[in-house]
């Protein structure tokens, strides 16, 4: 899955969560939104999607890159009508005349090769590679820049925090004993901070302002409990994952918004947990403590969790509206999470089928009265897979064009010729061919200096000649034939068919084989023989 596609679908998911949050932030448990943001983060960082018929992408038309491709796989409403133009797939129907078929094929070819409208496969590949590399460089600069900013800010803060002093008094020691766990918590104080905060994942530290009133035990209980909730829930790790998502999708403003809102929700959820701990009667007092700890402007701490002003009005309103837990609220929260996750975190159940049904970057001209367009697409896809396997390591194939023609029905079997056009680029370095390696072996075994020099010249001339075709794209054509039961041809279900190679005269030759693979231009012995015969 492409990064841009992940980011776009993630934006839709973020908008959905923001809409639900705006409507129900004071009615659902605050952990609901943390769970939703967690699902969004997984959606943004993992390129894996589970197909679902309940996904919103199953209910809306496919994206632009799929809209035109579906024309090749959807049957025509009227089999006697031929669409005149198509952006990526030209689907035609035979009128019963061979002359009409030839004329239509020629017309399609002329349209495709109009002057100024066709770029060779090599030029397109070069342009796409330049664009892709350029975009990657831009993304990488932004990604590394974001990581550098986060890392620099964190390092600066940690260096300043190192001068903090460990707090030791009766209240702190008692509190630490009551809140002991696997991770050792330290309570320190520092003049750098104006409000309490927590940092550190493996060795968490609660950092208090230098002017903290250690005699106000009630207020301290609220503050330390709030920070302890951050530590217990590993909010420091959540901040790191948020920073990672922001760095990866730095170009997406919706991810920046998610970062800000999710940070607020971490605080809201902590506030709710503290109120649950101390009871609803503590709401007003806790709100006053929150207002009392309103900090002055200070350096942002992206990877720390703080007890500070963070959209203060929203937090105070949320605190005053906290109610006792109820089954209805729990069920509603679970339903909201499940519905949004299924609708926005999954992919279309038909997306995979469409991708498999339509040949990549291919055009299909189906001149047949009996073969459905879906069947033509399925067969074309099988031909593509076979050709790419056959020429793997030797040639790269791109920009396929398929024409299904010369339809014959005999004994309830349908036979069709398949004319395939493709851009074919040689990717095997001539020096790596068996023929060249044989020549080189023969050169190395010659002892006579004059003959060795002449042999080296022959080898160099051969490599120079072959290099002219290396990484060069040419338009090529292939001929195949397909046999399948006539009863299956018009259906869109699973097909059973046989594919055959055709020679230049259109005669049926050998069928497809699983182990088909292009052979090297010549073997080692041929290369050796060439040197030995010419020296």
Q: What is the pLDDT of residue 359?
A: 43
Is the Cβ–Cβ distance between 455 and 341 less than 8 Å?
no
Is the Cβ–Cβ distance between 307 and 293 less than 8 Å?
yes
Q: What is the pLDDT of residue 297?
A: 40
Is 79's pLDDT higher than 70?
A: no
* All residues at 6 or more sequence positions from 265 whose CB lies less than 8 Å from its CB, including other chains: 21, 30, 33, 34, 37
Higher pLDDT, 277 or 309: 277
Mean pLDDT in residue range 388-401: 84
Which residues are paired to 408 by β-bridges? 415
Three state DSSP letters for 35-66:
HHHHHHHHHHHCCCCCEECCCHHHCCCCCHHH
Question: Rounded CA gap, 333 and 321, in Å?
Answer: 17
Question: Rounded CA gap, 263 and 322, in Å?
Answer: 19
Mean pLDDT in residue range 134-161: 90
Distance of CA 353 to the CA centre of its chain: 18
Higher pLDDT, 430 or 376: 376
Residue 160 structure tokens: 């300043």
213 burial (CB, 10 Å; 0-12 / 13-18 / 19+) is exposed
Nearest CA among 13, 63, 56 for reference residue 38: 13
Question: Rounded CA gap, 20 and 30, in Å?
Answer: 12
* All residues at 6 or more sequence positions from 90 whose CB lies less than 8 Å from its CB, including other chains: 83, 108, 363, 364, 365
Q: What is the pLDDT of residue 58?
A: 75
Residue 294 main-chain phi, psi, to 5 deg: -55, 125
Is the Cβ–Cβ distance between 233 and 271 less than 8 Å?
no
SS3 11: helix
Residue 406: other Cβ atoms inside 10 A: 17
- In the numeric block, the tokens 């073997």 are attached to 523
The DSSP line for 516-533 is: --PPPSS-HHHHHHHHHH
Q: What is the pLDDT of residue 103?
A: 54
The per-residue pLDDT for range 10-20, each reduced to its tens digit, is: 999 999 999 99
Is 124's pLDDT higher than 60?
A: no
Question: Rounded CA gap, 506 and 495, in Å?
Answer: 24
Residue 20 structure tokens: 């639900």
> What angle do the packed helices 3-24 and 31-45 form, to 10 degrees?
170
Residue 206: other Cβ atoms inside 10 A: 28
Q: What is the pLDDT of residue 362?
A: 65
Higher pLDDT, 251 or 90: 251
CA distance readout (Å), 492 to 101, 162, 319, 414? 24, 69, 58, 16
Q: What is the CA radius of gyration of the chain?
A: 34
The per-residue pLDDT for range 222-267, each reduced to its tens digit, is: 999 999 999 999 999 999 999 999 999 999 999 999 999 999 999 9
Residue 501 main-chain phi, psi, to 5 deg: -80, 150
Question: Which of 25-34, 291-300, 389-398 holds the top average pLDDT?
Answer: 25-34
pTM over 0.75: no
Is 325's pLDDT higher than 90?
A: no
Question: Rounded CA gap, 179 and 206, in Å?
Answer: 13
Residue 299 main-chain phi, psi, to 5 deg: -65, 135
Question: Rounded CA gap, 235 and 270, in Å?
Answer: 10
DSSP secondary-structure letter at 265? H
Question: Rounded CA gap, 463 and 189, in Å?
Answer: 74
- In the numeric block, the tokens 């530590």 are attached to 231
> What angle do the packed helices 524-534 and 449-467 form, to 10 degrees?
130
- Alpha helix (H) ranges present in 113-180? 121-161, 170-178
pLDDT above 90: percentage of residues in the chain: 23
Nearest CA among 526, 514, 503 for reference residue 442: 526
CA distance readout (Å), 126 to 121, 443, 472? 9, 36, 11
Q: What is the pLDDT of residue 106?
A: 54
Residue 196 structure tokens: 């309490």
Q: What is the pLDDT of residue 474?
A: 82
Is the Cβ–Cβ distance between 414 and 390 less than 8 Å?
no
The per-residue pLDDT for range 396-433, each reduced to its tens digit, is: 888 899 998 888 888 888 888 889 998 888 887 878 88
The dihedral region occupied by 425, where left means phi > 0, alpha psi between -120 and 50, and beta the remainder, is beta
Residue 125 structure tokens: 């590949």
């Amino acid at each position: 899955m492409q990064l841009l596609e992940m980011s776009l679908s993630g934006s839709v998911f973020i908008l959905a969560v923001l809409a639900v949050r705006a409507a129900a932030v004071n009615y659902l448990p605050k952990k609901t939104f943390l769970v939703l943001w967690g699902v969004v983060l997984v959606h943004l960082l993992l390129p894996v999607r589970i197909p679902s018929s309940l996904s919103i992408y199953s209910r809306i038309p496919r994206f632009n890159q799929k809209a035109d491709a579906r024309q090749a796989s959807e049957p025509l409403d009227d089999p006697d009508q031929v669409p005149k133009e198509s952006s990526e797939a030209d689907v035609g129907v035979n009128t019963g005349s061979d002359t009409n078929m030839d004329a239509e094929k020629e017309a399609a070819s002329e349209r495709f090769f109009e002057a100024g409208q066709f770029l060779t496969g090599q030029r397109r590949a070069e342009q796409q590679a330049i664009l892709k590399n350029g975009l990657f460089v831009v993304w990488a600069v932004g990604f590394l820049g974001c990581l550098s900013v986060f890392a620099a800010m964190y390092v600066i803060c940690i260096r300043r925090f190192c001068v903090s002093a460990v707090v030791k008094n009766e209240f702190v020691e008692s509190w630490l004993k009551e809140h002991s766990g696997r991770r050792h918590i330290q309570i320190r104080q520092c003049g750098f901070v104006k409000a309490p905060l927590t940092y550190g994942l493996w060795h968490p530290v609660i950092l208090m302002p230098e002017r903290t009133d250690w005699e106000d035990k009630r207020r301290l209980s609220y503050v330390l409990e709030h920070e302890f909730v951050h530590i217990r829930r590993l909010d420091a790790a959540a901040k790191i994952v948020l920073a990672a998502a922001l760095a990866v999708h730095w170009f997406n403003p919706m991810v920046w918004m998610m970062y800000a809102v999710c940070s607020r929700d971490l605080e809201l959820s902590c506030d709710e947990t503290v109120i649950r701990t101390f009871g609803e009667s503590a709401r007003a007092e806790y709100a006053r403590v929150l207002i009392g700890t309103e900090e002055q402007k200070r350096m942002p701490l992206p990877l720390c969790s703080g007890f500070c002003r963070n959209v203060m009005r929203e937090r105070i309103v949320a605190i005053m509206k906290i109610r006792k837990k109820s089954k209805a609220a729990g069920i509603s929260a679970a339903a909201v999470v499940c519905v949004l996750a299924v609708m926005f975190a999954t992919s279309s159940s038909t997306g995979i089928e469409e991708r498999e049904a339509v040949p990549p970057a291919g055009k299909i001209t189906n001149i047949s009265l009996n073969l459905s367009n879906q069947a033509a697409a399925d067969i074309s896809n099988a031909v593509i897979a076979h050709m790419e396997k056959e020429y793997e390591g030797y040639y790269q194939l791109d920009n396929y064009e398929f024409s299904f023609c010369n339809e014959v029905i005999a004994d309830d079997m349908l036979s069709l010729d398949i004319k395939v056009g493709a851009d074919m680029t040689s990717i095997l370095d001539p020096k790596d061919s068996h023929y060249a390696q044989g020549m080189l072996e023969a050169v190395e075994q010659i002892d006579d200096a004059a003959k060795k020099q002449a042999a080296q010249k022959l080898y160099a001339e051969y490599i120079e000649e072959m290099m002219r075709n290396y990484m060069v794209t040419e338009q090529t054509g292939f001929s195949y034939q397909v046999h399948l039961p006539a009863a299956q041809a018009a259906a869109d279900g699973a097909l059973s068919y046989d594919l055959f190679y055709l020679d230049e005269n259109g005669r049926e030759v050998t069928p497809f084989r699983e182990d088909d693979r292009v052979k090297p231009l010549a073997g080692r012995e041929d290369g050796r023989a060439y040197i030995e015969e010419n020296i």
